[in-house]
Structure 1
Amino acid sequence: MVVARGWLEADWPAPPGVRAGISLRDGDGVSAPPYDRLNLGMNSGDEPQAVRENRARLAAMLGLPSEPVWLRQVHGVGVFVMDAEVAGKAADAAETADRGADAAGRPAPAAELPEADAAVTRRRGTVLAILTADCLPVVFAAADGGELAAAHAGWRGLAAGVLEATVAAMATPPARLRVWLGPAAGPARYEVGREVYEAFTGPDPGAATAFAPTRPGHWRMDLFSLARRRLAALGVRNVHGGGLCTISDPARFYSHRRDQRTGRMATVAWILP
């Protein structure tokens, strides 16, 4: 694993030509508390100009080949499958919304961004991006490096099937996928209620192994274990990461569960041009 200030490289056997990782809050950003420092979430309550500067600094630090394709994440199962024409439009919309105004100076609506919680591409140089602050970011790549996907898997999306939808949208067979699970709310700190418990154990009683009871009607939940269980059921066996807790590490990670008012990290992935 390669760690640099403001960036955590994915700890997996990266397919040829694929790069992925997640930003860290302690990078060279300009956001003031409580968003300090490298907040990349445009809708987090931070000053938009600070987020724009942070995104530019991340792109420069990583040498990104293009503007990331930001999504309008809704905790659902939508997958944005990109081709050459659609990718160009998505990048244009993301850039417009990132600037915060259209050509006439009017605020750019978030609705211009693709509404989805996952994206898939086979285009070299296209940068996928997922924003999180406790939810689980998941990167998928074909073993030969020819296809890439990234998904936002909070508990709602995970229970609803966002990982299954992402794999179904990819051309690569599940057995030939490599997956990285990024930092998320960890099993030692992530307590949930009955609604969440039943969302997983109702359809799949075996999922109860990912929950540890704490007090009446509450459990600590292992998001990583639940994701691995669902991926295994799809035939995805080459899974890495899944050991870093966002709640427990305030120096490096934003956490909505811990702080409420906070920034967002960005998981970015791309196939080198």
Structure 2
Amino acid sequence: MNRDITHQLNALHHQGFALLPGVLDAGQVAAARAAIDGLQPIHWDYQGLVDDHYKCVFNRAPFWLAYLDLPGVIELAEAALGEDCHIIGQTAWRSHPGFVGAELHVDHLVMELPEALLADPAFTLPMQICTAMIYLDDIDRDLCPTLVIPGSHKAGRKPHPGEESWHGRTAEPVLCQAGDVLMLRSELWHSGSRNRTADRSRYLLQVHYGRRMVAQKFSPYLQFRFNPQVLAAATPRQRRLLGEHAPAEYD
């Protein structure tokens, strides 16, 4: 494991998140933004007054496959979740002026655990789900920065309604550049924030990774079918990420 991945993996264990700078170049950022602009809502997608949300974009066209296993990101996902991890979603967002982000929350908590256990240096909480947040804009304080409370994945619980801090720490904005990627584990307390700009929309692509035994639940569920063009274009690693696994005990 190279030094960068080791450092980032340690950050996931100790801080609950890691920022990976410069994953995409300007051309890749521009291409992803243009592709999001070309999306049309299907199934459970929506285009609203202040935000647009598209699910399972990996299944729209082969273009999106490259964003599933970006260099530096996929190695961290595999180090955190196992070399047989897969995706459980890929979501594209446009957040327009006036957008209000989600309140402080966790994405998924497998079980509540005593905080004293999680504070014990001899215990390391395994990760089950991580999300790569691929920023397609320069993120400043006015353009919907993601807010995180470092270390709060060790709370062992979800934040209570109205709770805004953990151990005296409040949520901090992640300020970054277009092409940077924020990897966060699902137990971390985090939130969205407002788009306070007058004329800028934040473009964001998310890839959700899970361990092999975290089920893939692609909407609209029973009606979901893989796009044959996507499967034909996928590399062996991308096909594994889409769910083509070697047989295991529960298959």
TM-score (norm 1): 0.26
Q: Which has the higher contact order (CA 8 A, sep 6+)?
A: 2
